[in-house]
Structure 1
Amino acid sequence: MRHDIPDLGTMSEAHPHLIFHNFTSRLGQRVSNILKYLFPVPKEESRRVITFANQDDFISFRHHVYKKTDHRNIELSEVGPRFEMKLYMIKLGTLDQERTAEVEWRWHPYTNTAKKRKFLSIE
C-alpha cells in the first residue's frame, strides 16, 4: 500500500500517463480501452505514470513518478499502491442497468483448458 512506502511525501494530482503492456488479443485490446477511458487525458508535463502489465492473464498495476536527472537519464520512483487483478466479467451498459446488462465476456474457470488458455494476449 502507499502508506507502506517510506519517505513518500505528498501525492501529485496531475493526470497520469498510461502504459499498457502485452494486451495483444482482441479481448486484451478491449480491456485496455476500458481501463484507458477511466483516466482523463494527461498534460504533456505530467510526471505520473501508471502501468498495466499483463502476464498470464493477471494484470499488474504499478504507479510511478519520474524526474529527469540529466538530458539522457530519468529517475523512476514508485508511489504505490501496487496490486494484481484478474478479469472476471465484462458487462455492457451502465451501473444503473446492472441487473439487465448483457454479459460481453465472462471467465469460466472450470473448463478443461481454462488454465492453459491466455485470453488477454496472443503468445
Structure 2
Amino acid sequence: MRHDIPKIGNMSEVYPHLVFHQFNSRLGERVKNILKYLFPVPKEDSKRVMTFVNQDDVISFRHHTYKKTDQKNIELTEVGPRFEMKLYEIRLGTIDQAAAADTEWVARPYMNTAKKRKYLSTE
C-alpha cells in the first residue's frame, strides 16, 4: 500500500490529471469513461497524475506527483497507493438498483478462448 513505497512523496489534494493507456477497444473506451467520470476536472496547474494502464486486461493504477526540474525535464514522485484491477462486470444503473440492474458486460473466464481473448484493447 501507500506506506510500502520507498521515498514516498506528500499526498496532494488537488484534482488529478488522468492518463489512460491501451484502452482502445469499444469495451476499453467504456471502462475508460467509467473511470474518468469518477474524478473531477483538474485545473491546468495541477501537479498530480493518476495513471491507468491496461496490459492483458489487467488494469494497473499508479498515483504520482511531478515537478519541473528544468525546461525539458520533469521529476515524477510516486505517492501511492498502487494496485491492479481486473474487470469483472459492468451493470447499468446505480448501486441502489443493483438487484434490478441489467448486466451490460460480464467476464466469462471458463470459455475455451477466454485465455487468448483481450477485451480492453485491440492489440
TM-score using structure 1 length: 0.97
Identity within the alignment, %: 73
The SS at the match of 1:96 is helix
The SS at the match of 2:49 is strand
CA distance in 2, matches of 1:115, 1:9: 38
Q: 1:9 to 1:111 in 2, by over 3 A?
A: closer
* Pairwise CA distance, 1:12: 0.7
- 1:51 matched to 2:35: no
Alignment partner, residue 109 of structure 1: 109
Cα deviation, 1:58-80, whole Å, max 9, x if unaligned, reads: 00000010000011110011111
Alignment partner, residue 2 of structure 1: 2
Q: 1:122 to 1:9 in 2, by over 3 A?
A: closer
State the AA in 2 paired with 1:106. Answer: V
The SS at the match of 1:3 is helix
* Pairwise CA distance, 1:7: 4.4
> In 1, are the aligned partners of 2:15 and 2:41 still within 8 Å (CA)?
yes
Cα deviation, 1:76-95, whole Å, max 9, x if unaligned, reads: 11111111100000000001
Alignment partner, residue 32 of structure 2: 32
* Pairwise CA distance, 1:9: 4.9
* Pairwise CA distance, 1:50: 0.3
Q: 1:104 to 1:61 in 2, by over 3 A?
A: same
CA distance in 1, matches of 2:75, 2:15: 19
State the AA in 1 paired with 2:13. Answer: E
CA distance in 1, matches of 2:9, 2:20: 27
How many residues align structurally? 123
Unaligned runs of 5+ in 2: none
Unaligned runs of 5+ in 1: none
TM-score using structure 2 length: 0.97
State the AA in 1 paired with 2:51. Answer: T
* Pairwise CA distance, 1:29: 0.1
Q: 1:73 to 1:117 in 2, by over 3 A?
A: same
* Pairwise CA distance, 1:6: 3.8
Alignment partner, residue 17 of structure 2: 17
